[in-house]
Structure 1
Amino acid sequence: MTDQPTAAQPEPQPESQPAPASPAAAPAAPVSVPPQAPVPDSVWARDAPVVPEAPAPAPAPAPAPAGDPADGLDAFYAPPAEAAAPAVDPEVRRARRRAAVRWGCAAAVFALAGTGTALAVTAPERTDIPGLATASDGRYTFPALTLPPLPAGQGVPQSPARTHHADLRYLVLPAPKEAGGARVPVPFPSPAAPTASASADATATAAPTPAATAPAPTAAAPATATPGFADWVPCDAFLAEQQGDAAKARMVLNRDVCVGATVREWTASDGTRTQIRLLRFDSTSESWDAYTWLRGKGRLKAVPDSDSASTKDWDTVEGVSLTALNGTKKGGAKNDPTGRIAYLSAGDVVGIVTMTNPGGVAAAPFRQVVTLQADLLS
Structure 2
Amino acid sequence: MTEQAAPAPAPAPAPAPRPPRRVLRAVGRWAVAVAVFAGLGTGAAYGVGGMERTDVPGLSTHGDGRWDYPRLSLPALPSGSPRPFNPENAGEIHHADLRALLLRAPAGATPDKKLTGGWVSTERYLSEYTAEQRGALTTLLDDFAVRHIAARGWTMPDGTVSRVYLLRFPSSGLATGFKHGAVFGSGVGTSVASAPGAEPDKSWPDSPPGSEMFVSTDVYAEPEPYGPTQARHAYVAAGDTIGLIVHERKGGTPVVPFHQTVVLQGQLLG
Give the drift of 1:117: 9.8
Give the drift of 1:135: 7.9
Determine if contact 2:133/2:188 at 8 Å carries over to the other structure.
no
CA deviation vs aligned residue, 1:154-200 (integer Å, no higher than 9, x gap): 1212255210000000000000003158xxxxxxxxxxxxxxxxxxx
Determine if contact 1:169/1:229 at 8 Å carries over to the other structure.
no
Give, in whole Å, the separation in 2 of the partners of 1:154 and 1:117.
47
Of 210, 216, 219 in structure 2, the residue corresponding to residue 324 of structure 1 is 219
**Residue 233 of structure 1 pairs with residue 163 of structure 2:** no
Q: Which runs of 5+ in 1 are unaligned?
A: 1-89, 120-133, 182-227, 332-336
Give the drift of 1:354: 0.4
Of 355, 360, 365 in structure 1, the residue corresponding to residue 252 of structure 2 is 360
**Residue 279 of structure 1 pairs with residue 171 of structure 2:** no
Which position in structure 2 is the counterpart of 1:349?
Answer: 241
TM-score (norm 2): 0.72
Give, in whole Å, the separation in 2 of the partners of 1:273 and 1:344.
18
Q: How many residues are aligned here?
A: 221
> Tell me, what secondary structure is at the counterpart of 1:144?
coil
Determine if contact 1:235/1:259 at 8 Å carries over to the other structure.
no
Which position in structure 2 is the counterpart of 1:80?
Answer: none
> Tell me, what secondary structure is at the counterpart of 2:147?
strand
Give, in whole Å, the separation in 1 of the partners of 2:177 and 2:262.
21
CA RMSD after TM alignment:
3.0
Q: Give, as a single letter, the amino acid of the residue that structure 1 aligns with 2:247.
A: M
Describe the shift of the 1:151–1:339 C-alpha distance in structure 2 as closer, same or farther (beyond 3 A): same
> Tell me, what secondary structure is at the counterpart of 2:73?
coil
Give the drift of 1:338: 1.7
Which position in structure 2 is the counterpart of 1:297?
Answer: 188
Report % sequence identity: 29
TM-score (norm 1): 0.53
> Tell me, what secondary structure is at the counterpart of 1:263?
strand
Which position in structure 2 is the counterpart of 1:78?
Answer: none
Give, in whole Å, the separation in 2 of the partners of 1:106 and 1:176.
43
CA deviation vs aligned residue, 1:18-41 (integer Å, no higher than 9, x gap): xxxxxxxxxxxxxxxxxxxxxxxx
Q: Give, as a single letter, the amino acid of the residue that structure 2 aligns with 1:111.
A: V
Give the drift of 1:141: 0.2
Question: Over alpha carbons, which structure has the higher Rg?
Answer: 1
Give, in whole Å, the separation in 2 of the partners of 1:161 and 1:115.
57
Determine if contact 2:220/2:234 at 8 Å carries over to the other structure.
yes
Describe the shift of the 1:343–1:112 C-alpha distance in structure 2 as closer, same or farther (beyond 3 A): same
Describe the shift of the 1:111–1:287 C-alpha distance in structure 2 as closer, same or farther (beyond 3 A): same
Q: Greater strand percent: which structure?
A: 2
Describe the shift of the 1:117–1:152 C-alpha distance in structure 2 as closer, same or farther (beyond 3 A): closer
> Tell me, what secondary structure is at the counterpart of 1:302?
coil
Q: Give, as a single letter, the amino acid of the residue that structure 1 aligns with 2:122.
A: C
Determine if contact 2:137/2:188 at 8 Å carries over to the other structure.
no
Question: What aligned pairs does 1:28-47 form with structure 2 within 5 A after superposition?
Answer: none
Which position in structure 1 is the counterpart of 2:43?
Answer: none
Q: Give, as a single letter, the amino acid of the residue that structure 2 aligns with 1:230.
A: G
Q: Give, as a single letter, the amino acid of the residue that structure 1 aligns with 2:177.
A: D
CA deviation vs aligned residue, 1:296-341 (integer Å, no higher than 9, x gap): 322311112201123315133111111000102357xxxxx82111
**Residue 111 of structure 1 pairs with residue 27 of structure 2:** yes
Describe the shift of the 1:109–1:301 C-alpha distance in structure 2 as closer, same or farther (beyond 3 A): closer
Give, in whole Å, the separation in 2 of the partners of 1:293 and 1:363.
27
Which position in structure 1 is the counterpart of 2:139?
Answer: 251
> Tell me, what secondary structure is at the counterpart of 2:66?
coil
Give, in whole Å, the separation in 2 of the partners of 1:330 and 1:178.
30
**Residue 173 of structure 1 pairs with residue 103 of structure 2:** yes
